[in-house]
Structure 1
Amino acid sequence: MLKNLLTIILTGVYLFISMPTTSAMGKISLAHQTLLEEVSEHVSAQLNPNQTDNITVTALPLDSRIRIKQCPEDIVVTMSQSRSFSRQFPVKAECLAEGHEWKAYVQVQVQELIETLVTTTNIAKGEVITDDMIKKTLVDKHRVNNKATDDIARIAGGRAMRNIAQGYQISSSDVCLVCKGDSVAIVATMSNMQIKTSGTAMENGSFGESIRVKNNNSERIVKGVIDDLRQILIKL
């Protein structure tokens, strides 16, 4: 009987001691949450004023041991103006209300997605690339191949210059829009005048590259820039 009574008393004392701590932790959690929301909103307004869907800002949780109070005024958020923003950077947040002053540094993650073309299937070297073999996909900016493109016109209709795996970020350098031996249109421009004739490609080339082509009428070899599928532009 005495043992049971002692157990009940100790349990009551434990609960009594625990209640303020639990309440305090609840207040800390709410203060932390308010802080993270205000930091996220501020940084998002600065980095993504148009609120486009391809940019997301996330304020990372503070260490639970960091104690801050609810701020009765708006939290003042300050971003560094002397550095370019990377994927993650610190932001200073302060409560300046009298009697509630505190300062904390919050780590913020920024993810920017960029639209790029990705292959939907394996493509063999020499295979003509059709529209269903590629698709536009949003990819993290820091994972985008620096040669990748989102311009279907630079890829579709051309031939793969090597074996390409499914899921690859394809670029114009992977495709010959004009391949050696192709019949091409040669477009010569001078001022407002344009002359068009037929030719034969003497080498492979991607969009924007300069290659040699033979004018089928004059048999002359000329150099021109690829500006479309099987089309060469020459400026006179």
Structure 2
Amino acid sequence: MNYNVIYKVFAAITLLPFINTAGFASTNTHQARSAQLIEGAEQYVSSQISSSANTRLNISTADIDQRVNLPLCPTPIVYSASLESLQQSNVAVKALCSSTNWYMYLMVNVKQMQPVVVISNAVSPGTILNQSNIELINMNRALLRRTTFSNVDDVMGARIKRRVRPGQPITPNNLCFVCKGDTIIINASNSMMQVKATGVAMQDGNIGDTISVTNSRSKKQINARVASTSEVVVGI
């Protein structure tokens, strides 16, 4: 019997648990330090970027490669980023251990999400917007090139002027609450009196817009402010 072979096999089996434990310990240490660095970088970015009450920050960081050495830092890690970088969607954050002068950069992705009213079903020109064809979703602010709406009530009852695909944001220039040729009520008033008349819209307009309307009876053309889908107001 070859006792030398038996001894080597026995020694290998005996040491195997210790080898695995060391490997797990190393992996766990890396994961813990990696998580600490990522959390610190994300908290730093969150504290440096201002957002309105209508927006929400969505911050994420890629995992740190297992092969990267992450030494223990006896002092708190200091995080920093340039002003220019903080204005980008991908922020390069420097994590510095000042006591050992060790540092590394983490790439933190930032998305400013805001509620946007979009079309839920394909609509054609002239379609009246209602609960069945619009919805509110969160979208990345950086991808929005035009003015949008953040409340479904702001577009309810308006008509679409051009074809819109599902998921596409609704913009003011593609709406008309009062559309050219619509028959509307002209509400003329002051502190003492109020007069109403029927008129015809000569222009498209959204709530608050001033458009040209023609009084159906007198044929006089006046400028009036759009108040709803059926009424414009003018002072007298």
Q: Per-residue displacement from partner, 1:66-124 (whole Å, max 9, x unpaired)? A: 21222232211112235552211101111123xx4411111111121111111232323
Query: Which is worse superposed, 113-122 or 24-33?
Result: 24-33
Q: What does residue 118 of structure 2 align with?
A: 118
Change (3 A) 1:44 1:177: same
Question: Displacement, 1:55?
Answer: 1.1
C-alpha separation between the residues in 1 aligned to 2:43 and 2:94? 14
Q: What does residue 141 of structure 1 align with?
A: 141
Name the count of aligned residue pairs: 233
Identity rate of aligned residues, in percent? 21
C-alpha separation between the residues in 2 aligned to 1:57 and 1:51? 17
Q: What does residue 211 of structure 1 align with?
A: 211
**RMSD, aligned CA:** 3.4
Runs of at least 5 residues in structure 1 that lack an aligned partner in the other structure: none
Question: Displacement, 1:176?
Answer: 1.7
Contact 1:89-1:109 at 8 Å conserved across structures? yes
Q: What does residue 182 of structure 1 align with?
A: 182
Contact 2:85-2:91 at 8 Å conserved across structures? no
C-alpha separation between the residues in 2 aligned to 1:156 and 1:102? 57
Contact 1:76-1:95 at 8 Å conserved across structures? yes
Runs of at least 5 residues in structure 2 that lack an aligned partner in the other structure: none
Question: Displacement, 1:125?
Answer: 2.4
Question: Displacement, 1:156?
Answer: 1.4
Name which of 80, 83, 91 aligns with 1:81.
Answer: 83
C-alpha separation between the residues in 2 aligned to 1:51 and 1:148? 16
Question: Displacement, 1:180?
Answer: 2.7
Q: What does residue 197 of structure 1 align with?
A: 196
Change (3 A) 1:148 1:18: same
Question: Displacement, 1:209?
Answer: 4.6
Question: Displacement, 1:233?
Answer: 4.6
Change (3 A) 1:43 1:193: farther
Change (3 A) 1:109 1:234: same
Contact 1:153-1:228 at 8 Å conserved across structures? no
Contact 2:118-2:137 at 8 Å conserved across structures? yes
| Alignment of structure 1 residues 1-236 onto 2, 5 Å | 2=2, 3=5, 5-9=7-11, 20=22, 22-47=24-49, 54-97=56-99, 100-187=100-187, 196-198=195-197, 199-207=199-207, 209-234=209-234
Change (3 A) 1:46 1:228: same
TM-score normalized by the length of structure 1: 0.78
C-alpha separation between the residues in 2 aligned to 1:216 and 1:8? 105
Question: Displacement, 1:33?
Answer: 1.6
Change (3 A) 1:174 1:112: same
C-alpha separation between the residues in 1 aligned to 2:51 and 2:161? 42
Change (3 A) 1:108 1:51: farther
Q: Which amino acid aligns with 1:213?
A: V
